[in-house]
Amino acid sequence: MNIKQLLPLSLLLLSAAALRAQETKLSLDEAINLAVTKSTEATLADTKVATSKLEVDNVKNNVYPSLKVSGSYLRVSDPTLNLKVPLGSSSGTDSGSGTATASPTVNSAMYGFANASMPLFSGFKLKNSIAASENAYKAETYSAAGTKEQIALQTIMLYTNLYKAQQSVTLIEENLKSARQRVKDFTAMEQNGLIARNDLLKAQLQSSNVELSLEDAKKTVAVLNYQLVTLLHLPEGTKVGVNDSYFKNSSNLNPAVTENEAIAQRNDLQALRFAEKAAESNIKIAKADYYPTIGLSAGYVYLNVPHFVELYNAANVGIGVSYDIAGIFKNNKKVKAAESRRQETRQQLDLLTENVKVQVQQSLENYNLAVKQNRVYTEAVTQAGENYRIVKDKYDNGLSDTNDLLEADVQQLQARLNETFSRADITWRYYELLNASGKLTSSFNLTQNK
């Protein structure tokens, strides 16, 4: 083999290796792990939780004393200083008043202040503010978990649809081989005068239709693959290989779900429960304005004007009380607004609880229907295969026409597609039911931080 023959072969092998490198065999567990940790929506949910945690820390900082220190050093011009207080006797006096006319030279000044304050009582506002922020943080945490469950469900949907599309390509490619072989056989038979040209054209038309269906299935694979790769933040150009074990063993799935479990475990319901607790704390915060505010304060002052005055050891400590009397009348609307927001949250919780019950029941019915459909489609595959065999025998013996043969072939392909899709539907409906009951992410071995 010379170099000219070796070069194209090397390029072909390199291309095949590159294609294999781009293809990634991805299990459903791995896909969901990537989705709940790497997807943009999951990252945003985690950021919101982190922000809420920081807000809790900020509110807790209000419990600690406040300490402020300030100071300045000033240079001043030569001022005209006219004192109205006696400075003592002097050789030069004002003939009218007898007071000293001499004045100190002032060209600089410095001062410093230190002030500390600590709240002692504010109508339990600080305590309830901390409780409200902590409950808001818990609500955000459960909301993020609920968001990740929806991301996981979206991933399962894309994974399932990609499996369907890939299986469609495989089954249609097999059918296309048979259709093309039939065209070859019919071409030879037509040339030998065994069949009419019209029968050959019918076989060619069916082969063309199957080829179009194949291209459409490949397009669907490409679109779904791109969506899944984008969601999981995989390298661009990655070809996802679906693990079909999740769908071949779908008949072994046995969901055990009750409405009570769903109501107790759903993350979105938990988020609203803690949001309601935060709203209750906000009511108490609003009512805190009915009470006076008491605080402890302490301070220190130092002042030095060279050649004139120096002040030090000027420390002070005391208790301050403030009470907004007008607020007693104004605060009523603020409290009612907080109570109304709490009522809104409670009604949202009641509405979502009703919807959860409906979702669980509907998901359970969809799962049972998918199981029954799979039984029917599995039987249909056997029936369609037997029907095609009988029609083919009849056609070979001149007892059936081309239309019957082609129709039986289409029915056989459709039956195989329906049976494959029904197995995937069982898996999809199973995980959809787990999502409705709040068990979806817990059913996978996830590595996310909870």
The yes-or-no verdict on residue 7 having pLDDT over 80 is no
Maximum mean pLDDT: which of 196-200, 245-249, 314-318: 196-200
Q: 202-212: per-residue pLDDT in tens?
A: 999 999 999 99
Residue 66: its pLDDT value, please?
Answer: 86
Residue 79: its pLDDT value, please?
Answer: 66
**Local confidence band at 447 (pLDDT 50, 70, 90 cut-offs):** low
Distance of alpha carbon 29 from alpha carbon 443, whole angstroms: 10
Distance of alpha carbon 144 from alpha carbon 449, whole angstroms: 12
Strands 66-75 and 108-121 come out as antiparallel
Distance of alpha carbon 286 from alpha carbon 326, whole angstroms: 15
Which of these ranges, 221-225, 255-259, 293-297, has the smallest mean pLDDT?
255-259
Which of these ranges, 16-25, 387-396, 411-420, 427-436, has the smallest mean pLDDT?
16-25
- The answer to whether 373 and 422 have CB atoms below 8 angstroms apart is yes
- The answer to whether 32 and 444 have CB atoms below 8 angstroms apart is yes
The yes-or-no verdict on residue 1 having pLDDT over 50 is no
The yes-or-no verdict on residue 433 having pLDDT over 50 is yes
The yes-or-no verdict on residue 271 having pLDDT over 90 is yes
**Local confidence band at 20 (pLDDT 50, 70, 90 cut-offs):** very low
Q: What average pLDDT is seen over the chain?
A: 87
Mean pLDDT of 377-392: 96
The yes-or-no verdict on residue 341 having pLDDT over 90 is yes
The yes-or-no verdict on residue 92 having pLDDT over 50 is no
- Of 116, 139, 121, 145, give the one whose Cα is nearest residue 56: 139
Residue 87: its pLDDT value, please?
Answer: 56
Return all residues near 317 (Cβ < 8 A) that are at least 6 apart. Answer: 296, 297, 298, 299
Query: At what angle are helices 197-232 and 28-38 packed, to 10 degrees?
Result: 50
In the sheet that holds 309-322, the strands lie side by side as 66-75, 108-121, 293-305, 309-322
- The answer to whether 137 and 53 have CB atoms below 8 angstroms apart is yes
- Of 292, 276, 279, give the one whose Cα is nearest residue 335: 279
Q: Indicate if the alpha-carbon torsion angle 198, 203, 207, 210 is positive or negative.
A: positive
The yes-or-no verdict on residue 342 having pLDDT over 80 is yes
Residue 65: its pLDDT value, please?
Answer: 85
The yes-or-no verdict on residue 2 having pLDDT over 60 is no
Q: 77 or 301: whose pLDDT is higher? A: 301
Q: 424 or 94: whose pLDDT is higher? A: 424
**Token pair for 110:** 């410095």
Residue 96: its pLDDT value, please?
Answer: 47
Q: 295-314: per-residue pLDDT in tens?
A: 888 999 988 888 778 888 88
**Token pair for 194:** 């065994």
The yes-or-no verdict on residue 316 having pLDDT over 80 is yes
Predicted TM-score (pTM) of this structure: 0.82
Residue 4: its pLDDT value, please?
Answer: 47
Name the E strands within 306-388: 309-322
The yes-or-no verdict on residue 450 having pLDDT over 80 is no
**Local confidence band at 103 (pLDDT 50, 70, 90 cut-offs):** low
The yes-or-no verdict on residue 95 having pLDDT over 70 is no
**Amino acid letter for position 286:** A
**Token pair for 132:** 């409200």
Q: How many Cβ atoms from other residues are within 10 Å of residue 303's Cβ? A: 14
**Local confidence band at 182 (pLDDT 50, 70, 90 cut-offs):** very high
Maximum mean pLDDT: which of 24-33, 258-267, 372-381: 372-381
Report percent pLDDT > 90 for the chain: 59
